[in-house]
Amino acid sequence: MKLICVLLSFFVFSVMAQEEAKIEEVKDNDILYKKVKPFVYQVKTSQSAESSKASYGTGFVVDGEEGLMLTNYHVVSTYIQDEDDRYKIFVTDKDEVYEAKVLDFSVIFDLALIQIEKKFKGELRIRDKAPGRGETIYSMGLPKDLNISLVEGNYNGVIKSGIYERILMSTPVNSGMSGGPTVDKWGRVIGANVSILLNSQNISFSVPIDKGKDLIESYRKRKAPLPRKEYVNHIKQQLKQIEKELFTSIDENPGKSNSIGAWQFSAPDKTGKCWSKNDYSEKRTFKYSRQNCFLQGAAYIDSSIYSGSYEVMYLSLESLTRNRFQFADMVDSFFNGKDYLKNIYTRFSESNELTKFSCNEGIITNKNKLSFRYAYCLNGYVKYDGHYRMYFKAATLGDKRNALIVKLKVDGFSKEGMMTFLKKHLDGIQKKEAM
């Protein structure tokens, strides 16, 4: 049995190598463009085929016989989030426009499987294994509502942050290319274009194609499109999955114990990213150390809300020349978000997708017997009851020269999940002298 497996593996790889070598003889960007383009189309949401677009992107054929196409969830989210049946999804094929129906979607991986009543002469092949780092890859799509375009870049591996996975590319993709295929030099799909990194030079991301394969398999097992009346519940279930897997990731990938100033604390999930800064006040009356940690990824729901993410800030303050009253006043100023720490934690945006804020404050003691003053505000997702956004801040009490301020923003967790998350971070705090 072992010998058969080895021979079979060798046969598969040998055939693949021969096929790739054969195609490589005619590899040329123009030929690749002509090979991939017949299966790449504009996808738009609008009130009718003739009306202007509410949103648009790109999609590509994954089953020509059934007219199945993959695109990004955010490309068609206007339709999915519409409860008044104002919008429809359309796929443009030259001078013809086809209305599409949604078969399934994932807010976790920002993918949607759609279908039109058209048979294609084939489909894009899916690559079975990931490219090697540095391998040349290409993204195709409709940038800025212009022509279908092919851009060249490089594959830089897969970034995993909690539940989220993205292919890191050095590729100059633009708005409108979302949902288009990311292919190798043989035209095989490795992912779906999804986003770019703002204020960067050609850093872009693609959803690994195995997530698209999972979506196709899920639809085929169900043997029917996801009913429109189930959209809200479908998203709620995915939000629960995100929370569950994020906490699993935090438990399985605990961050290293960190320290700033006089304080020791536990960093979040090590798959997150942290930045730090140490400095003195302008007149050197106090010094501060700050660390910001955040999860690289979030689930896009619609243009006004994301979910399944968190940010944590630790700020250590140490008095150099200030007396106890001046120091307490300074801590209070930072706690309330004044001075140069104005940030998202103190600016609550209102949205029709969220309920009004419910706020509270008080004093709490962690397991290391440190006391904190705290304040928080949270509001719920109107459609997705049981999931909330919370802004939380806490400051240590009882020290005349040192203080630690913690600020958190948590999106899309249940109340129980948020309390678990908060407790984990507060209980991880202690003074260095107490260790």
What torsion, rounded to 10 degrees, do the Cα atoms 47, 51, 57, 63 define?
70
Domains parsed from the chain with CATH numbers: 9-226 (2.40.10.120), 236-434 (2.60.120.1690)
Q: Which amino acid is at 433?
A: E
Look up the pTM and report it: 0.84
Alpha-carbon span 15 to 21, nearest angstrom: 10
Report the relative pairing of strands 371-380 and 309-319 from DSSP bridges. unpaired
Q: Give the angle 214-74-181 at the CA atoms, nearest 5°.
A: 60
Element (H, E) at 232: helix 231-252
Q: At what angle do helices 231-252 and 415-427 cross, to 10 degrees?
A: 20
Report the relative pairing of strands 430-431 and 263-266 from DSSP bridges. antiparallel
Q: Which residue, 227, 242, 255, is CA-closest to 413?
A: 242
Residues forming beta bridges with residue 83, ordered by sequence position? none
Contact 327, 288 (CB under 8 A): no
Beta strands across the sheet bearing 388-396: 273-280, 286-294, 309-319, 402-413, 388-396, 371-380, 358-365
What pLDDT, on the 0 to 100 scale, is given for residue 1?
31
What pLDDT, on the 0 to 100 scale, is given for residue 351?
66
Element (H, E) at 29: helix 29-36
CA 297 to chain CA mean position, Å? 3
What pLDDT, on the 0 to 100 scale, is given for residue 199?
65
Alpha-carbon span 32 to 174, nearest angstrom: 20
Output the CA–CA distances (angstroms, integers) from residue 157 to 14, 167, 199, in the order listed: 24, 6, 21
Taking the CB of residue 398, how many other CB atoms lie within 10 A of it? Answer: 9
Q: How crowded is the C-beta side of 416, counted as CA atoms within 13 Å?
A: 5
Alpha-carbon span 179 to 215, nearest angstrom: 14
Output the CA–CA distances (angstroms, integers) from residue 70 to 61, 178, 250, 289, 320, in the order listed: 7, 11, 31, 46, 59
DSSP 178-201: TTPEEEETTS-EEEEEEEE-TTSS
Alpha-carbon span 138 to 396, nearest angstrom: 52
Taking the CB of residue 344, how many other CB atoms lie within 10 A of it? Answer: 12
Per-residue pLDDT of the chain (435 residues; tens, 9 = 90+): 332 222 222 223 333 344 444 444 335 788 899 999 999 999 999 888 887 777 889 999 999 999 999 999 999 999 999 888 899 999 988 788 999 999 999 999 999 999 999 999 999 999 988 999 999 999 999 887 778 889 999 999 998 888 899 999 998 888 889 999 999 999 999 999 998 877 667 788 999 999 999 999 999 998 899 999 999 999 999 999 999 988 887 777 666 678 888 898 876 666 777 888 888 777 788 888 998 888 888 999 988 888 999 899 999 999 999 999 999 998 998 898 743 333 433 344 556 888 898 999 999 999 999 999 999 999 999 999 999 999 999 999 989 999 999 999 999 999 999 998 888 889 989 998 754
Residue 275 has what DSSP assignment? E
User: Which residues are CB-contacts of 259 (< 8 A; sequence separation ≥ 6)?
Assistant: 265, 432
Six-digit token string for 26: 């005619």
What pLDDT, on the 0 to 100 scale, is given for residue 14?
34
Q: How crowded is the C-beta side of 253, counted as CA atoms within 13 Å?
A: 17
What pLDDT, on the 0 to 100 scale, is given for residue 350?
55
What torsion, rounded to 10 degrees, do the Cα atoms 348, 353, 358, 363 define?
-60
Taking the CB of residue 106, how many other CB atoms lie within 10 A of it? Answer: 22
Six-digit token string for 405: 């301020």
Alpha-carbon span 189 to 114, nearest angstrom: 17
